Amino acid sequence: SDAGPGTLIDDVSAAREAAQHLLDLGHREIAVIRGDPTHASSVARTRGYDQAFAAAGVTLRPERIKQGLFTRDSGHQAAAELLDGVDRPTAILAQNDDMAVGALMAARERGIDVPAQVSIVGFDDSEVSRITWPRITTVRQPVFEMAVAATDMVIAQLEGGGSAGRRKHPFQLLVRESSSPPQA
* Identity of residue 110: R
Specify the pLDDT at position 4: 41
10: confidence class by pLDDT, cuts 50, 70, 90: confident
SS3 110: coil
**What's the pLDDT tens digit per position in 54-63?**
999 999 999 9
User: How far is 157 from 155, CA to CA, in rounded Å?
Assistant: 5
**Cβ contacts of 144 within 8 Å, gap of 6 or more:** none
Which residues are 49's β-sheet partners?
none
Is residue 63 within 8 A of residue 44, CB to CB? The reply is: no
In the chain the domains, ranked by start, together with CATH numbers, are 10-140 (3.40.50.2300)
Question: What's phi and psi for 164, nearest 5 deg?
Answer: -100, 30
Q: Is the pLDDT of residue 152 over 90?
A: no
Q: Is the peptide bond before 170 cis (omega within 30 degrees of 0)?
A: no
User: How far is 48 from 127, CA to CA, in rounded Å?
Assistant: 24
**What's the pLDDT tens digit per position in 39-95?**
999 999 999 999 999 999 999 999 999 999 999 999 999 999 999 988 999 999 999
Other Cβ atoms closer than 10 A to 50: 16
Q: How many CA atoms lie within 13 A of 118 on its CB side?
A: 27
Q: Is the pLDDT of residue 8 over 70?
A: no
Is residue 136 within 8 A of residue 21, CB to CB? The reply is: no
**What's the pLDDT tens digit per position in 123-150?**
999 999 999 999 999 998 765 565 665 6
Q: Is the pLDDT of residue 5 over 90?
A: no
